Amino acid sequence: MADGITLSIKGIKEVERKFQLLERNAPDLARKMINGAAGKMKDALIGSSFVFQPTPTPFVLKSFAVSLATPGNLQAQVGMKEYRTKTGGIRPHYLLPQVFGGARPQKISEERLGGYYVPGAAAKLNKYGNLMELQQILSAVGARIDAAQRTDLIKTERTRRGSRPGQRKRRLYWFGRLGKKKTLGIWAVGEGRGNDRIRPVLIFPDQGMKAPKYTKRWPFFDIARREYRRAAPEMADKYFRQWLAQ
């Protein structure tokens, strides 16, 4: 044939080498892709927590965990940490009722005080809405106190009046029932005048026996799935391109 076109592929050996390397490196590439997507999922979940908690505490922001994939186990897990108590028990994350709905478990302080409580008008709260004086309260009323052992109000008031001037600035607490409805609470004693001399710090609705219930308000799993579908192709492209450039 007088005229014709000759085709040739240069570097075929390099192409073959790359494919052979890809077969060996595929599990490690998959690991990087999965872990990269899991990290993006964690970030998305942390960001979504600001929707129902405008000022999440550092505890909330640090409580998301990622269990990383390995070449031998191409599976990562993203979720909220369980945490251990001082007695060695394991407690579920307190935000889980926001995901699944239903009643929340008691806080450790509620277990020690004998019931569920809500902050009263005299409670001192920090910028996260959490009680600032919890340790002082627990110390004042006792680490564990049963229903029959309540602080004596008259004795508490006398303690306030009999204290030296410097000690009078220290808040005194009384644990007991007040009013026609015998409302159970922890009260600040002797800080005001007249009707304000006893002010509510913590109130125990229904004598502390009724657990607060929540509706599902945090689409935790929907957010995680949506972010995975978005991030997985991005991570696959990123790490494959890095591998090709080697």
Looking at the structure of the chain, the number of domains it has is 2
230 with 139, same domain: the answer is: no
Asked whether residue 127 is domain-assigned, the answer is: yes
pLDDT tens for each residue of 21-78: 666 778 888 899 999 999 999 999 998 888 777 777 888 888 888 999 998 899 999 9
pLDDT(142) > 90: no
- pTM (two decimals): 0.70
pLDDT tens for each residue of 86-120: 666 777 788 888 899 998 888 888 888 889 999 99
181 with 200, same domain: the answer is: yes
Q: Give the DSSP H/E element, type plus range, for residue 26.
A: helix 12-52
Inter-axis angle of helices 220-244 and 12-52, nearest 10: 150
pLDDT(149) > 60: no
Q: What is the pLDDT at residue 68? A: 92
Asked whether residue 1 is domain-assigned, the answer is: no
202 with 123, same domain: the answer is: yes
72 with 124, same domain: the answer is: no
Residue with tokens 């978005």: 230
Q: Is 166 left (phi over 0), alpha (psi -120 to 50) or beta?
A: alpha
pLDDT(15) > 50: yes
Q: What is the average pLDDT value for the chain, to the nearest integer?
A: 80
Asked whether residue 93 is domain-assigned, the answer is: no
Task: Compute the Cα dihedral for 128, 178, 135, 90 and give only its sign.
Answer: negative
Q: 225 is in which domain, residue-wise?
A: 14-86+215-244
Asked whether residue 223 is domain-assigned, the answer is: yes
78 with 131, same domain: the answer is: no
192 with 237, same domain: the answer is: no
